[in-house]
Amino acid sequence: MAFTRTYDGDEPVRVNKWLGQTGVCSRREAESLIAEGLVSIDGETISDPGRKIEPGQTLTLNDTAQHALASGMTILLHKPVGYVSGQPDPGKIPAVRLLKTPNRVGEGETPARDASLPPIGRLDEDSRGLLLLSSDGVVAKAVIGPASELDKEYLVVVDGHVTEGKLSKLRHGLELNGKALKPARVTQIEPQRLRFILTEGKYRQIRRMCELVGLEVIDLYRVRVGPLLLGDLPEGRWRHLTPAERDALITQAKGEGR
């Protein structure tokens, strides 16, 4: 079924910009769809990548466009310690090496060895848990785009004396590189075990936060990204994201359905 949406802004806006802002697709993807004649406004197919949509007009992406946007592959992987998320330095092993048929859980195509599946969000070499790898630009924007409202949940084992004062600082009041961090939800679930829920993902953020209050991270385990749960997926195994999970991810990233 074709996708339709009525523009409710106050001023005309370029179609590619509007589609990017609303999370339907990236600006580049929008330009490609327009060039292929897959986008119409009030029933008229548009071909100008600079075309603006007026308040009250309705944009339609036909079925072919919808299929193109959803055709990217997204993998949910349980990354073990010792694998790096992104492009590795010499001697390091990229997590994408785990995407082999014997490691797959459930049905679906195994990515080609040379497939482009960049990591969507950081997960350090010495951390484990849920890692997304995707060629789907809409999924990438939903998880790491500047307007994303997705949170991420981690279970963290620390060494050091945990106090209410330290927990209070972890929740609010810390800075990294001279910039204040967004408030975090941090709870103590066992004497040396904490739960962190963050809405940002700076480089080695949790480890650096803990160092600032005199704690050392012994184990860091990501169990959730937005509505996506790692669940009982075994370490080192992977599966395809389902269409329902993709829809839920995009919806929650825009702050809807909460």
DSSP for residue 234: P
- Is the separation of the CB atoms in 152 and 109 below 8 Å? no
Q: Which residue among the candidates 8, 10, 114, 124 is catalytic per the annotation?
A: 124
Q: How far is CA 8 from CA 14, 22, 57, 65, 147, in A?
A: 13, 12, 8, 22, 19
Beta bridge partners, 134, equal: 74
Beta bridge partners, 61, equal: 3, 39
Instruction: Phi first, then psi: give them for residue 195, nearest 5 degrees.
Output: -110, 125
Concerning whether 124 is annotated as a catalytic residue, the answer is yes
Q: How far is CA 108 from CA 117, 195, 227, 240, 242, in A?
A: 15, 33, 21, 7, 10
Enumerate the active-site residues.
Answer: 124
